[in-house]
Every structure is written in structure tokens, then in C-alpha cells.
Amino acid sequence: MTPLQAERQQRNQTILKSQKDGKTYDEIAKEYGLSAGAIRKIFYIHKHNTDKSSPKDSTYESILELHNSGHTKKQIAEITGYTVGHISYIIWNFASPIKEHMLAMTHEEICRSYRLSKDRRYQILVLAELNATSKKRIKKILEDSGEIIHHKKTK
């Protein structure tokens, strides 16, 4: 586990304890400088990671079928009554072939984040973790975009 992952996990555990103290999502969000949606997502992920008895149900399978047949997330949300964010979560977590190709950030966002960082070598690791992909893939994106240029060594 990287230091960033450990820090995030520790923060999330502290956030989970905050709700036991009777705080609302908005209060917790304000305290940690996050959005209420981010707080809800932390609780949602925790609930589903600890509930081992919740296999993919027919609703999730039908959402994946709609996605694979070419429907947009917005269309699927209108059909199912879920939010677009929930549809994205389901697709991300239950569609493994699709998951391998998806990134949380666009290539432009990755390049901008890399360009603006103080420590670019470390930023590659951060970007890989944020996008749940490898450092090699992030480097490839940056190389293809012209952000990283390898100079040939002359003898």
C-alpha cells in the first residue's frame, strides 16, 4: 500500500466513525473539505465492501446490458431511476472488460495535472492511483500527448 493509499484509507476510517457520532453528510463534508457526494460515496463503498452477501443482481446486469447495447449513462439513469453517478459506479465496478479501458480523468486532465505539478515523477504515481491504472499507462498517455519527451543519448 502506498503512502497516499494509506492516508486515504485512514481518512475514510475517520469519516466512517464521524457518522456514528451523529453527524450529517454535510457536516462531515465541511469538516474534511470534501463534497457531501464524496462522503456519501465513501459510505456507499464501505457498505458494499463489507456486505459480502450482495452479489450482482438482475438490476445491475440489466444496467450493464443497456450500457453494452449503446445506451448513454443518462439514458440508463432515466430508464432505471438511478442517478447518473450510480450508473457510472455500477459500470465501473461490475463491467471488468470496460473497466480496464476507463479512466477517471480525461487525457487532457491528466496532462494538465502533470504539467502543473511540482514533482512530476511523483505525480505520475498519483495519477496512476487516481485513475486506477498503471504508471506505464499514465506515462504512455503523457508521451503520446507530448508532455514527456525522451531525448536520445548521444555517445
What confidence tens digit (pLDDT) does each residue in 27-76 have? 888 888 878 777 777 777 776 665 544 444 557 777 888 887 888 888 88
How far is the C-alpha of 50 from the C-alpha of 53, rounded, in Å? Answer: 9
* Within a domain: 153: no
Task: Report pLDDT for 55.
Answer: 42
Three-class DSSP labels, 39-89: HHHHHHHHHHHHCCCCCCCHHHHHHHHHHHCCCCHHHHHHHHCCCHHHHHH
* Within a domain: 154: no
Same domain for 61 and 96: yes
* Within a domain: 10: yes
Task: Report pLDDT for 98.
Answer: 44
User: Using a CB cutoff of 8 Å and minimum separation of 24, what contacts does 67-76 make?
Assistant: 67/91, 67/95, 67/98, 68/95
Same domain for 49 and 5: yes
How far is the C-alpha of 123 from the C-alpha of 115, rounded, in Å? Answer: 9
* Within a domain: 155: no
Is the predicted pLDDT of residue 100 greater than 50, yes or no? no
Q: Does residue 68 contact residue 62 with C-beta atoms inside 8 Å?
A: no
Domain enclosing residue 138, as ranges: 107-144
How far is the C-alpha of 90 from the C-alpha of 44, rounded, in Å? Answer: 12
Q: Does residue 109 contact residue 115 with C-beta atoms inside 8 Å?
A: no
* Within a domain: 94: yes
Same domain for 123 and 88: no
Domain end call among 85, 102, 119 = 102
Same domain for 74 and 50: no
Instruction: Enter the pTM of the model.
Output: 0.37
The total number of structural domains in the chain stands at 3
Same domain for 37 and 65: no
* Within a domain: 150: no
* Within a domain: 8: yes
